[in-house]
Amino acid sequence: MEPLLKDDFAQSKSKTGEILGEETEGVNQILPHMNRWAWDLYIKGAANNWMPTEIPMVKDQQSWKSKDVLTDDERLVIKRCMGFFAGTESLVSNNLMSLAKWITDPECRQYMARQMYEECLHNHTVVYICDALDLDVNEVYEAHINIPAIKDKDDFLMASTANVNDPHFETKTIEGKRNLYKAAFMYWIICEGTFFYSGFAMLLSMSNKIPGIAEQIQYTLRDERLHIEFGTKLLNTMRAQYPDLMTDQLEDELTQIMQRAVELEVAYAHDVLPRGILGLNADMFLDYMQYIANRRMEGLSMKFRYPKDKNPFPWMSEKVDIKKQKNFFETKVTDYQSEGVLDDDF
């Protein structure tokens, strides 16, 4: 029998490359590549393998026990960040499972399956840190109910999850496609792309006192950057495939969502940093969130920008470059990364 040629695949009638096709069940036909960008991101994600339990927590445990090392304010930051991540990382996994019913392109689904696995690692990180520091599990896992600034962020995100799970949700009409676009914007751009960043910056600013937590956050951040890149490309591809999708009204609505997200994030920073901690205060997060929001809107070719476009934490880009830092500190090499994918500027 003759081997299959590329052209045989190209004649395949069952693959269109459409992001929101009709077929929501069935086989995942990867080839021929029609959304190669999604496949490439899957390969990059796979090259970033890591495991929370490989990272030693001895120094963090010592710091947690000593009143001289961590102040009460710093402890509050750690507990609140864990509380926020405990709720939201699990929400991200659930959102992906809901969206997987509607995003039918096989290469996008391949990436999303990989992302779900990475979100499992992020959930594992919270469990591992709770165990290592013997944190009050109820305090961490019920923060999304009991801490108003966290509850507000989670309620804001969950409203859009409810839409996708509504029995009347559909993606056949242009209105339905707009609703899916809005949900995807909420998940990848607001939740992962905006809400996570203040927590990352707060924990990474304490790297020397809690190196184990900080290292796990660095790996998480490296994963999240690919998630955001995927979400941005997914949204842009949808926009190209369905030219009627984007309207001035939808862009206004998404811009307002982004502005509300920045407000919620700044309120959260004030709650978590009532007096500031070494080198950080809540007002810096206003600048940071506006800077991040500008990058996200830019990625989606939307018009809105905050006028003050300044990154108060330029050191965040160093923290993302794990390999460079490892060489610098000569610590245990747990970096599986085999190709250079860290070229973003924040």
State the catalytic residues.
Answer: 128
**Per-residue x/- marks for Mn ion, 82-101, CB under 5 A?**
-------x------------
Quick one: which of 335, 92, 95 has its CA closest to 196?
92
The span of 9-17, 30-38, 122-130, 157-165 binding Mn ion (CB under 5 A) equals 122-130
With respect to Mn ion, which residue has the nearer C-beta, 94 or 255? 94
Residue 182 found at the interface with Fe ion (CB under 5 A): no
- Which of 74, 105, 107, 192 touches Fe ion by CB under 5 A? 192
What's the distance, CA 246 to chain centroid? 24
Indicate whether 122 belongs to the interface with Mn ion (CB under 5 A): yes
Reduced to 3 states (helix: H, G, I; strand: E, B; else coil), residue 256 is helix
Helix (H, G, I), strand (E, B) or coil at 117: helix
Q: Which residue is nearest to Fe ion (CB)?
A: 227
Considering the rule CB under 5 A, would residue 107 count as an interface residue with Fe ion?
A: no
Specify the residue, 16 or 49, whose C-beta has the smaller distance to Mn ion.
49
Closest CA to 272 of 77, 74, 83, 86: 77
Q: Least distance in Å: CB of 254 to Mn ion?
A: 22
Among 193, 196, 231, which Cα is nearest to 108's?
A: 231
Rounded to whole angstroms, how far apart are CA atoms 283 and 48?
A: 33
Given CA atoms 64, 65, 66, 72 in this order, what sign does their dihedral have?
A: positive
Cis, peptide link before residue 274, omega less than 30° from 0: no
265 binds Fe ion (CB under 5 A): no
Q: Which does 319 bind (CB under 5 to 8 A by kind): Mn ion, Fe ion, none?
A: none
Interacting residues of 259 by C-beta distance below 8 A, sequence separation 6+: 293, 304
Q: Contact between 227 and Fe ion (CB under 5 A)?
A: yes
Strand partners, 277: 280
Tell me the closest approach of the beta carbon of residue 127 to Fe ion, in angstroms: 17
Q: Pick what 215 binds: Fe ion, Mn ion, none; C-beta below 5 to 8 Å, kind-dependent.
A: none
CB of 92 to Fe ion, least distance (A): 5
Residue 280 forms beta bridges with which residues? 277
271, 274, 276, 281: CA torsion to nearest 10: 50
Rounded least distance, CB 308 to Mn ion, Å: 28
Q: Is 60 in the site for Fe ion (CB under 5 A)?
A: no
Number of residues in contact with Fe ion, rule: CB under 5 A?
Answer: 3
Please tell me whether residue 319 binds Mn ion under the rule CB under 5 A.
no
* Residue span binding Fe ion (CB under 5 A) among the ranges 129-137, 220-228, 283-291, 313-321: 220-228
Report the alpha-carbon distance of residue 224 to residue 220 in Å, rounded: 6
Q: In this structure, which amino acid lies at residue 198?
A: S
| CA-based end-to-end distance of the chain | 52
Compare residues 195 and 291 and give the one whose CB is closer to Mn ion: 195
Q: Does 229 bind Fe ion (CB under 5 A)?
A: no
Per-position x/- string for 139-178, each x denoting binding to Fe ion as judged by CB under 5 A, each - no binding? ----------------------------------------
Q: DSSP labels for 265-330?
A: HHHHHHHH-SS-BTTB-HHHHHHHHHHHHHHHHHHTT-S---S----S-TTHHHHH-HHHHHHHHT
Which residue ranges make up the site for Fe ion (CB under 5 A)?
192, 224, 227
Residue numbers at the binding site for Mn ion (CB under 5 A): 89, 119, 122
